[in-house]
Structure formats: structure tokens, C-alpha cells
Amino acid sequence: MSPHDMDRRTLLKLSGLSLVGATAGCLEGEEETTTTTTEESGGGGGGGEETTTTTEESGGGDSSYTIGMVDSLTGSLAPYGERNTRGRELALAAINEAGIGSEGASLNISVEDDESTNQGGVNGAQKLVNQDGVPLLIGSVGSGVSIAIHDSVTNDAGVVQISQNSTSPELTSRPDLLRMSPSGAAKGQALASLVSDDGHDTVAVTWINNDYGTGLSDVFAETFESELGGTVAYNEPHDQGQSSYSGILTEMASTDASAWVFITYANEYTVMVNEGFDQGYNTAVDYYGAESTVADSIIENTPAGSMDGMKGITESAPQDQENYQNFVSAFEENYDATPTVWSAYAYDAVTVAALAIEAADEFSGEALASVVRDVTRPEGEEVFNFEEAAAVLRDGGSPSDINYQGVSGPVDLDENGDPPGYYQIYSVEDHEYVFGDYITS
């Protein structure tokens, strides 16, 4: 087996994974009662049920570390939160097969649902930080949710926060808010270029009224008008979770725009597509979108032909990278499905967290913050999985001696907490997503 291959025994050892285990204070060795969030890996509603689990550990038994995660299990972002589950499971299996530290401690993740809202995210983070005492928190999907968690909870508490999926350019202004997915700034520029290159000089844009929508729409509009000489004839927000957006579509149709750009979430876009199909708008103008208009639930809940010809820009993993290919193989073998890059981001968020724990002098927010960037930086030796990285550290290496190459691509967290980005052009053909050329930021 290649040293860069994932251990298949590790990735297949998924039964009995602990998403919640010992308390957040590391290296517990006593009987505990914990609340476990049990999640379905399939394409269901993304909800979880709470059960009470007793974990028995003797003084000489396995030790464990517990970190927190705030994810979108219900609400508008549930289609995206669901796909994080499998990436998280695969990462946990690989990490726990190798064990953390000289005692081979296990990693547990306590998961809270943010309900796809800022307040839900803050509530979940407060429980994890203030009650459970986690020193590191992964979260969330929505950019606004991640920012709210940072500003209201983790920043003041000195807790390391790593977002698995948030892309808004606004996160860049918060250097302590790390993320695995790249900033949407380059994506907004690429989307504007795609629309312009297709021959459109007038567009109508509607964007979801939060930090994600604001950040991406601002970059798109600035690029399309100031750099490409186009006109944004309509540029208005829409609220999350509405049952109808016919008023927005009517206003867009009243312009002379030949292209409509949707910067929104899966549930909202599904409503818009269905209403646009009913009014025949889909044949009158060309649709464009970003990564958030790519979801199986959209295809499943809209009629054939309602989106054909749509194009967009989405984050992507480097398909030719061996590390990613191994991840895809393991994912398909375990779940009989092909992963998205968002599953890869979730995998990398968990792995980087585990590497920080392995490298830090103690299990505290301050200690983890001092090493979490170093384990991803390009100055170190390239390592392609947790076991390989841990071996370097246990052989006397320092955090800066390793450069974790994620399954989503090089992580290389910069001074703003941002990684580099890979993007891909997609289109909808015969009511299916088709992925084409790559763009690198």
C-alpha cells in the first residue's frame, strides 16, 4: 500500500463510531452519562434524535478527547449539513484507528444542530463551549451562522473555531475564524466572468439576505460592472424560508436582463425554479448560480427541463490528486455514493482538529490555536493522512515540520485563516448536474 493511501481497514471501521463521548476535559477515566446525537447517513431530513448513553471507562482504559461541532441538520441548509456527516465519520474512523498521542486516545465529536439560523448556531455553540467546555469547535455551514458563533461565543472564550463549509468573504476579516472551504471572493469573480463570457451584458441578481448572500453578490456585481463593463439591472435580496418568491421573479422579469443569477440556498432555489417553470421564465432567460444551487434535493423536487442550460461555479477538489481519489474510493465503498467536495471539507476540518490536538502541549484553546495553522503550512513535510502526520510528530517533529495535504486539496491556512481554492464550472443537462473545467484561485 502506498504511504499516501488511506487505510481501508480504518475507513471501513465505521460501526460504533462515537459522536459524543467523554466530557471535553481530556483523558477521562470514569463512568459518565452523556447525550448523544444520532444522525442518519442517508438522504433523509437530516434530523437527529437524542438518546442517553452511558460510557464506562476504567482508569486503565482508553482515553478520549471531545471537541464540538455545530452543523445544519434541519432548516434551509440541511441538504448541505447532511453531506458533512459522512466526511466526518470517515475522518473519525481514520483518526481513531491510529489514536491520538502516546496513549492512543480516541477523538469524539459532540454535534449540535444550528437549525440553519444564526441564533440556533449561537445556542448550540454556547452549550458546547459553556456547558461542555470544548476548546475547539467545528462550525458551521452557513457563513452568517459561523460569523455569529465567532462573534458571540468562540472569540471571547478563546476557543478555536474551524468552519467546514462557510465561504463568505466576510470571514476573511476575522483571522481567528479558520475555514476549510475557500473564500467566495474568487468564486464571485469567476461567476461574473462566466456570465460575461457567455455573451450577457445585462443581468438580474437575487441573493439570500445574510452574510453569504451579501458577500458573494457584492463581489459578483462589482466584477461584472466595474471590470467587465456589464449592467446589473436588478440586485435585490430575498428572505430565507419563504413559501413563494413569485414577487422577486416578477421584478426580475420586468428588466431587460438576459441572465438571472441566483445566490441562494437549496430550499429557496427549489421554490424559485418551480415558480419560474410555471411562468415559463426558464425558457426566456439563462439561469446561473453558485455552489449553493447544487444539491440532489433540488433535482429531486423540480420537474425535468426546469433548469436545463443553467450554469454556475462551485468549489471543487483537485480530481487528479491521489489523496482525493483514495477518499472517493473509500467513500463509495462505504456509502455506495460519490462524495461532494463539501464532504471532503468536513473530513479535513476534523483531521486538522485532530492534528492540532496531537501537536499541542495541552488540550486547551490557547495551545490548540498556537499550532493549528502550522500543521497545514507549506514549509513542512507533505503528509497525506492523520497517521502519516502523527508519525512525524511522534518522532520528534514540531507542528511546523508537517504540511497536511487535505483530501479537498492543500489546506495552507494563511494569516486570515483562509485556504487556497479550487473551483469548477457546472451546468444542468437533462436535469442532471454536469461538471466541467477547473479554475484555481
Whether 71 and 48 have beta carbons less than 8 Å apart is answered as no
Residue stretches of the chain with pLDDT short of 70? 1-62, 441
Whether 32 and 49 have beta carbons less than 8 Å apart is answered as no
Alpha carbon 18 to its chain centroid, in Å, reads 21
Q: What is the phi/psi pair of residue 233, to 5°?
A: -75, -20
d(CA 37, CA 124): 12
Tell the CATH topology of 64-181+320-420. Rossmann fold (3.40.50)
Residue 312 pairs in a beta bridge with: 289, 426
CATH 3.40.50.2300 domain extents, the chain: 64-181+320-420, 184-315
DSSP state of 402: E
Q: Dump pLDDT digits (tens) for 203-229.
A: 999 999 999 999 999 999 999 999 999
Indicate the burial class of 3 (C-beta count within 10 angstroms; 0-12, 13-18, 19 or more): exposed
Q: Where are the alpha helices (DSSP H) in 336-439?
A: 341-359, 365-369, 386-394
Q: Dump pLDDT digits (tens) for 152-188.
A: 999 999 999 999 999 999 999 999 999 999 998 989 9
Q: Cβ neighbours of residue 392 under 8 Å, at least 6 residues apart?
A: 381, 383, 401, 402
Whether 327 and 436 have beta carbons less than 8 Å apart is answered as no
Q: What is the phi/psi pair of residue 114, to 5°?
A: -90, 0
Could you tell me the sign of the dihedral formed by the alpha carbons of 405, 418, 401, 396, in that order?
negative
Alpha carbon 121 to its chain centroid, in Å, reads 15
* Model pLDDT, residue 441: 64
End-to-end CA distance of the chain: 32
d(CA 420, CA 225): 26
The CA-CA-CA angle for residues 273, 83, 363, to 5°, reads 140
DSSP state of 379: T
d(CA 188, CA 136): 30
Q: Is the peptide bond before 140 cis (omega within 30 degrees of 0)?
A: yes
Could you tell me the sign of the dihedral formed by the alpha carbons of 289, 294, 298, 299, in that order?
positive
pTM value is 0.78
Q: Which H or E run includes 297? A: helix 296-300
The CA-CA-CA angle for residues 318, 5, 180, to 5°, reads 40
Residue 37 pairs in a beta bridge with: 50
d(CA 246, CA 239): 13
Nearest Cα to 215, choosing from 193, 237, 241, 199?
A: 237
Q: Where are the alpha helices (DSSP H) in 75-139?
A: 78-98, 118-126
d(CA 325, CA 303): 33
* Model pLDDT, residue 81: 86
CATH architecture of 184-315: 3-Layer(aba) Sandwich (3.40)
Buried b vs exposed e over 66-91: b needs ≥16 C-beta within 10 Å? Answer: bbbbbbbbbbbbbbbbbbbbbbbbbb
Whether 57 and 108 have beta carbons less than 8 Å apart is answered as no
d(CA 98, CA 106): 9
Q: What is the phi/psi pair of residue 46, to 5°?
A: 85, 5
